[in-house]
Amino acid sequence: MAAEFPYFYASTLADRKNSFPLVMVGGVLEANQRWDIGREVMDFISKDYPGAHPIRPKVEPAVGAALLALNEFMKECVQEAYRR
């Protein structure tokens, strides 16, 4: 079930061709000296979703989510301003 979650989430955000951010959080995804599991997860997802752009936040997940939401909101505001 856990392996299916990224595919379910990605397919609800975008089709397989469009670009979209994929925020990778959680201690289990952190690289150690022997293995970068986060890189392997991203490589696996990229096979089916080449438009996925991995983001590994350097801040706490809640702060990163808020910053990403603010960034998307600002993009929409700028687009709306140009439509007027």
pLDDT digit string (tens) for 1-31? 455 555 555 555 556 667 888 878 777 677 6
**Whole-angstrom distance, CA of residue 17 vs CA of residue 51:** 6
In the predicted model, what is the mean pLDDT of the chain? 78
pLDDT confidence of residue 6: 54
Cα angle: 3, vertex 35, 67; to 5 degrees: 65
SS3 62: helix
Is 6 in contact with 42 (CB distance < 8 Å)? no
Q: Which domain holds residue 10?
A: 5-83
Radius of gyration, alpha carbons of the chain: 15
In this predicted structure, the answer to whether residue 62 has a pLDDT above a threshold of 80 is yes
Instruction: Give how many domains the chain has, as a whole number.
Output: 1
Is 25 in contact with 60 (CB distance < 8 Å)? no
pLDDT confidence of residue 54: 84
